[in-house]
Structure 1
Amino acid sequence: MKHEPDKAAPVAAPEFLVDLERVDFEAGGKLLLRGITWRLEPGKHWAVLGSNGAGKSTFLRLVRGELWPLPSSRSRRRYTVDGRVTTSPLLFRERTGLVSGELFNEYHRREWDLTSREVVVSGLTGGHLLYHEPSDEQWQRADELLAKLEIGHLAKRRLLSLSLGQGKQVLIARALASRPSLLLLDEPCEGLDSASRRRLLAMLGRVAAGGTQLVYATHRGAELVPGTSHAILLDQGAITLQGPLQEVMDHGGLALAPSPQAALPAPPPPAAQGAFLARVRTEQVNLEHKPVLFDLDWEVLPGQNWLVLGPNGAGKTTLLRLLGGELRPQHGGTLAWFGSTKPRNLQKLRREIGLVSAGLQARHFHRQSGLETVASGISGSVGLRGFLDQAQRDQAVAWLERLGLMDLAQRDITTLSYGQLRKLLITRAMVTGPRLLLLDEPLAGLDSPARAEVNAILARLAAQGTTLVGVTHYPEEMMAYMSHVALLEAGRMVFQGTVRQYLGRQAQPRS
């Protein structure tokens, strides 16, 4: 039975935008939110805190009215729209915007390959696609927002070619296009470099000061939006704490819990000393028929673990796609692996190279269990092909146990949080004991305890001989187990050397 929209009743003055009382929500046979009682009053801006799987993303979707609560005589969900109280979220939803990693994944899943400018202007037309030619005023509004977020240079780029951080910025511009009264953001800063994070937070602070209310989820205390007044702490789908921001923070709203030590299997023997694991020499690499990497002469040797740094749009993700065999250099360039310049079978290569990325995560949207997802890494397929034999099942279970993820083994991955699925995909990448592990923002979407846990896993892998090449916008979180740094700027590798050399370079005064 569904709740029928009630007749809108006039009120003297809006006491709230959203009012939830004892609301439960279930999906996939699992209770994801329970007993939610919360009210969004005018002028308040809320941070939503909690660990992976706590229900933050689901809570944001519930607030917007995208999800329907379990029917109960005890529960109530109300909205104020144009000064009237209603139980229907339909009109309220039109006045809100929601941006999340899942929305970015949705564009990938459905292959909505629009330019960034088209994506932003679609926020004014009520759909994800353009069904008619926008007016000059609408195009102007889109251009203004792209400029406001300082991403005007992405206007003609296809959304599907952008990194997670770039894509989220475009989607934030899209959400702001219709001037919403409420903006809901799920980890808005994930995937952004430090300068872009500062700009985005300052811009969101101005949006909040201008009258648009914000409710956003974050895992990092340094990424609270200026002007945030209140916070809510979720744990296993229930609100454990809510109130003024400082009070919630004082009670450990973003506390770092101890990380369990995972026992890892020994990786296969590394390549002979001196034999490169990956080598790229090329004058140019193209993406969408446009050059994005230039004058590369770089190799990864056994015993090295590389951190790839640079601002958004520098070419970091493209470099990983190149190393993974997904892209090829332009004519005359060379790309080789594991000490041999002979052509490689791509399917066999992918069994020797593990990959974790936002793009790969976007392709995991069909229903399957966590165990099946991990086991699919044995063949390198997206989704399980055929039936699992006992040896493959045991191999996947062993890794899930080692990483403490057996509680996700039988879960349908479509019901998991972004961070929970990310941990499964890291396990999937490790299941074959790869000689080279490519990590594109491996900590994105993870809470503090999970980041510490994954870092401990990666550090042990590095110590045991698996070579890592990782992209991050938070170098301080991964540098302890990395030996070398490659710095990209505008598609060129402007520095490559040891971590010590990089830190010395950064310490030098800039002219």
Structure 2
Amino acid sequence: MTCQTADPTLLVTVDHVSLSLPGDSRQEMVLHDIDWRVRRGCHCVLTGGNGAGKSTLLRLLRGELRPARGSIYWHTAEGAETSPLAGRAMSALVSPALQEKHQREAWDITGRDLLLTAFDDTSLLYSSPPDECSRAAEAIAARLKAEHLLACSISAFSQGQLCLLLCARALLREPPLLLLDECADGLDAAHRARLFGLLEEYTDRCTVVMTTHRQGLIPTWCSGRRHLRQGRILAVDTPQGTLLQERPPRSKKARVQSAESETVLFCLEKVSVFVDRRKVLHDIDWSMHEGEHWHLTGANGSGKSTLLRLLAGDEFVALGGRACRCLARRGGFVQTLEDVRRGVRLVSGLSSALYGYALTGLELVCSGFDNSVGLYRRCANAELREAREAMERLDVAPLAEHSIRRLSSGQLRRLFLARALVGGPDILLLDEPCSGLDEASRFRYLDTLDNLAAQGLSLVFVSHYDEDAPLCINRQARMEGGRLIVTP
């Protein structure tokens, strides 16, 4: 249906819309009476806690979700249209869900192919693009210092590299409406600066609606504000000082100095790792002792996530190297992959993306006892109690009976940590665990890690944000080009 648009500045009219998510048999509304006019050039930030409805609202604006009540109109050159196809034609969305889709599908396409899919707005490349499209893709990759990714398979990308190219793909289309859902959380500082610099150049062509939980990731040119809580817009044009929810107090603990211990947990000798025939880790010599908690930093693509996957048993050492793991609760040095995966738990965005089962929150946490993808047995009562206690600790107990497919990325982050805690692991590996968490959840998450460290659990923590590091951290290292440099 099409009708004439009286106001030429209008892009989208959301007229008292309420909606439920597809597949919800209860048809529980997750957005309530949303009334909003999105206008050209009025760039806006959506704020609110995890589960407030921000990502759902972006999907509505994109045309991926349909209202249960109310109406939505996309204002095109032909007039106001109600077809979701109009929304998809005039917008581009970059979100954790899109990134997870590419990781889960594991398409064998290059970075160049990924960028070129922008022009037909498809997941895969079905035809040879014109030369000017190829030149545009190369130019935007050069602006983001990502030319080296064009010939690489996206399956070998780091989380940050994939996110960067998905943002570049969205910009290539120059859509009237650009929707960015926590798009910079996994980027290192240099790539964040390049991306936001490029975004600013597009602000005269694209109207940006973005979400973030970090005050420092809001560009100065994005001045509009909408605050959501429990699926409702509560505030319009919120002052900058009160944009994000009040920061909860974090317990004051002195940083713990590295304890003298001869007990080795990890020992790597001349370790190299190949991914898709490409050498990603180079001759790493490193050991981790009991009482140490490491913060690992480095640029996107430097090898941090690959190192964590190696420690967790998900990658294998190339010929000539050696990796040993000593897990006290498993009887000392372990050899079998089953023992490694029971004693060493990895929490990462990739593990979440590959977890394609439609379980409840409680079932997801219970799958941690066997560290399995999916739940294949009935848990004992004692295990159920332990799972519920882990959920209480991270304030996700109310999600026990909710399908994980209908939760926000921040809610899933906390559930996956609860999953990693059950069964008494020796070591916890955390890869950008605070991405997508609101401030209250982030501080509770970090306090939980500090308490676990005080109880004897060892941590290796990866983050691009120093403020995300737990207070228990007492050792530092940096990855550079696949090599590990330990900070004295």
* TM-score band, normalised by shorter chain: over 0.9
Counterpart residue number, 2:135? 140
Instruction: Supply the distance in 2 between the matched residues of 1:190 and 1:172 (Cα, whole angstroms).
Output: 12
Consecutive unaligned residues in structure 2, runs of 5 or more = 252-258
- AA at the equivalent of 1:336: C
1:195-227: CA deviation from partner (whole Å, max 9, x where unpaired) = 22122122112211x321100101111001231
Tell me the SS of whatever aligns to 1:14.
coil
Q: Does 1:55 align with 2:31?
A: no
Q: Would the aligned equivalents of 1:352 and 1:436 in 2 still touch at CA under 8 Å?
A: yes
Counterpart residue number, 1:509? none
Of stretches 317-326 and 472-481 in structure 1, the one that deviates more from structure 2 is 472-481
Q: Would the aligned equivalents of 1:187 and 1:445 in 2 still touch at CA under 8 Å?
A: yes
Q: Would the aligned equivalents of 1:202 and 1:226 in 2 still touch at CA under 8 Å?
A: no
Of stretches 12-21 and 298-307 in structure 1, the one that deviates more from structure 2 is 12-21
Q: Does 1:33 align with 2:27?
A: no
Q: Does 1:181 align with 2:176?
A: yes
Counterpart residue number, 1:416? 407
- Tell me which of 239, 255, 258 is aligned to 2:245: 255
How far does residue 12 in structure 1 lie from its aligned partner after superposition?
5.0
Distance 1:256-1:433 versus aligned 2 partners, 3 A rule: farther
Counterpart residue number, 1:475? 466
- AA at the equivalent of 1:421: L
Q: Would the aligned equivalents of 2:12 and 2:74 in 1 still touch at CA under 8 Å?
A: yes
Q: What TM-score does the superposition give when structure 1 sets the normalisation length?
A: 0.89
How far does residue 326 in structure 1 lie from its aligned partner after superposition?
1.2
- AA at the equivalent of 2:210: Y
Of stretches 41-50 and 159-168 in structure 1, the one that deviates more from structure 2 is 159-168
Map 1:337-486; keep pairs closer than 5 Å. 337-338=325-326, 344-478=335-469, 480-486=471-477
Counterpart residue number, 2:254? none
Tell me the SS of whatever aligns to 1:277.
strand
Instruction: Supply the distance in 2 between the matched residues of 1:82 and 1:111 (Cα, whole angstroms).
Output: 37
Instruction: Supply the distance in 1 between the matched residues of 2:245 and 2:396 (Cα, whole angstroms).
Output: 21
Instruction: Supply the distance in 2 between the matched residues of 1:135 and 1:427 (Cα, whole angstroms).
Output: 49
- AA at the equivalent of 1:438: L
Counterpart residue number, 1:227? 221
Q: Does 1:156 align with 2:151?
A: yes
Tell me the SS of whatever aligns to 1:282.
strand
Instruction: Supply the distance in 2 between the matched residues of 1:283 and 1:345 (Cα, whole angstroms).
Output: 19
1:365-424: CA deviation from partner (whole Å, max 9, x where unpaired) = 321100000000000101111222322222211211232211111110000001100110
How far does residue 31 in structure 1 lie from its aligned partner after superposition?
1.6
Instruction: Supply the distance in 1 between the matched residues of 2:236 and 2:482 (Cα, whole angstroms).
Output: 45
Counterpart residue number, 1:100? 95
Counterpart residue number, 2:256? none
Q: Would the aligned equivalents of 1:202 and 1:225 in 2 still touch at CA under 8 Å?
A: no
Q: What TM-score does the superposition give when structure 2 sets the normalisation length?
A: 0.93
Distance 1:172-1:323 versus aligned 2 partners, 3 A rule: same
Distance 1:42-1:83 versus aligned 2 partners, 3 A rule: farther
Counterpart residue number, 2:266? 278
Distance 1:12-1:342 versus aligned 2 partners, 3 A rule: closer
Instruction: Supply the distance in 2 between the matched residues of 1:134 and 1:140 (Cα, whole angstroms).
Output: 10
- Tell me which of 129, 133, 137 is aligned to 2:124: 129
- Tell me which of 212, 215, 218 is aligned to 2:209: 215
- Tell me which of 83, 86, 110 is aligned to 2:105: 110
Consecutive unaligned residues in structure 1, runs of 5 or more = 1-5, 262-270, 498-511
Q: Would the aligned equivalents of 1:309 and 1:486 in 2 still touch at CA under 8 Å?
A: yes
Instruction: Supply the distance in 2 between the matched residues of 1:148 and 1:260 (Cα, whole angstroms).
Output: 39
Of stretches 222-231 and 42-51 in structure 1, the one that deviates more from structure 2 is 222-231
How far does residue 485 in structure 1 lie from its aligned partner after superposition?
0.4
Q: Over aligned residue pairs, what C-alpha RMSD do you find?
A: 1.9
Q: Does 1:76 align with 2:71?
A: yes
Q: Would the aligned equivalents of 1:232 and 1:248 in 2 still touch at CA under 8 Å?
A: no
Q: Which runs of 4+ in 1 moved over 4 A?
A: 339-343
Instruction: Supply the distance in 1 between the matched residues of 2:349 and 2:464 (Cα, whole angstroms).
Output: 14
Tell me the SS of whatever aligns to 2:395.
coil
How far does residue 343 in structure 1 lie from its aligned partner after superposition?
6.1
Instruction: Supply the distance in 1 between the matched residues of 2:333 and 2:451 (Cα, whole angstroms).
Output: 32
- AA at the equivalent of 1:197: R
Instruction: Supply the distance in 1 between the matched residues of 2:216 and 2:250 (Cα, whole angstroms).
Output: 24
How far does residue 126 in structure 1 lie from its aligned partner after superposition?
2.9
Instruction: Supply the distance in 1 between the matched residues of 2:245 and 2:348 (Cα, whole angstroms).
Output: 26
Q: Identical aligned pairs, as a percentage?
A: 36
Distance 1:364-1:260 versus aligned 2 partners, 3 A rule: farther
- Tell me which of 45, 48, 72 is aligned to 2:43: 45
Q: Would the aligned equivalents of 1:370 and 1:412 in 2 still touch at CA under 8 Å?
A: yes
- AA at the equivalent of 1:306: W
